[in-house]
A and B are shown apart, each in its own frame.
Chain A
Amino acid sequence: QVQLVESGGGLVKPGGSLRLSCAASGFTFSDYHMSWVRQAPGKGLEWVSYISSRATSADSADSVRGRFTISRDDARQSLYLQMNSLRAEDTAVYYCARGQPRYLGWFDPWGQGTLVTVSS
């Protein structure tokens, strides 16, 4: 079945870096746009970054632009999020989510999430 599994979360100091991974299975990964969405403790959902199928385009929310970089490896069926210059306000559960093949579209499914904690 279609599955997304995130990894790479953990505790990091302010100013530090972390790389999240998302392993996809059960579908043709290269056909789909992919995104990262985060949720701070007790808060709502915030879209973070997007990458198109075959990585022809990518973009991020203003809150992370210039600090976070999304990438994908279609051969490995994997999505990544390189997070640099981390701040306390980046503390959140980070979800990997599958978009749609030909347009932005809705997210389905979502991974189980990986927790990133930024604290000294």
Chain B
Amino acid sequence: EIVMTQSPATLSVSPGQGATLSCRASQSVSSNLAWYQQKPGQAPRLLIYGASTRATGIPARFSGSGSGTEFTLTISSLQSEDFAVYYCQQYNYWYTFGQGTKLEIK
């Protein structure tokens, strides 16, 4: 099983600032990585697939990068609606999710 490890577990950032979330795979997943946003009481929403391609309707302030085992989700100029939990997911060999990073208001 491919283990996905996200860091940090919690990130406190002020609105208007940027945030960088990390995701590491226990073995290479190539670019077969997605990022999801989940707000309380809601289903996850796809943000990024293929490590760096924004999903339809996702604002340009969200960007993804990386390949192999190291990945990053960057959110520039945080808006109030961006405070949520973010998950990475590999789909190179079946599916596994990271444990999530909670992005909270500082």
Residues of A in contact with B (beta carbons under 8 Å apart): 35, 37, 44-47, 50, 59, 95, 104-113
A-B contact pairs, 21 of them (CB 8 A): A37-B95, A44-B97, A44-B98, A44-B100, A45-B38, A45-B44, A45-B89, A45-B97, A46-B97, A95-B43, A104-B92, A104-B95, A106-B91, A107-B44, A107-B46, A107-B89, A108-B46, A108-B49, A109-B43, A110-B45, A112-B43
Task: Report whether over half of chain B's contact residues are helix, strand or loop; otherwise say mixed.
Answer: loop
CB closest residue in chain A, given B6:
A44
B78 within 8 Å of A (CB atoms): no
Contact of A44 among B55, B87, B92, B94 (CB under 8 A): B87
Instruction: Report how many residues on chain B are interfacial, defined by Cβ distance under 8 Å.
Output: 23
Residues of B in contact with A (beta carbons under 8 Å apart): 32, 34, 36, 38, 42-46, 49-50, 55, 87, 89, 91-92, 94-100
Chain B residues with Cβ below 8 Å from A108 are: 46, 49, 55
Number of contacts between A and B (CB, 8 Å)? Answer: 55
Taking A95-B43, A106-B46, A110-B44 as contacts, is the C-beta distance between A59 and B94 under 8 angstroms?
A: yes
Q: Which 10 A-B pairs rank lowest in CB-CB distance, beginning with the nearest?
A: A106-B34, A47-B95, A108-B46, A110-B43, A106-B49, A45-B97, A104-B91, A44-B100, A44-B99, A110-B44
Check B44–A95 contact: CB distance below 8 A: yes
Chain A residues with Cβ below 8 Å from B38 are: 45
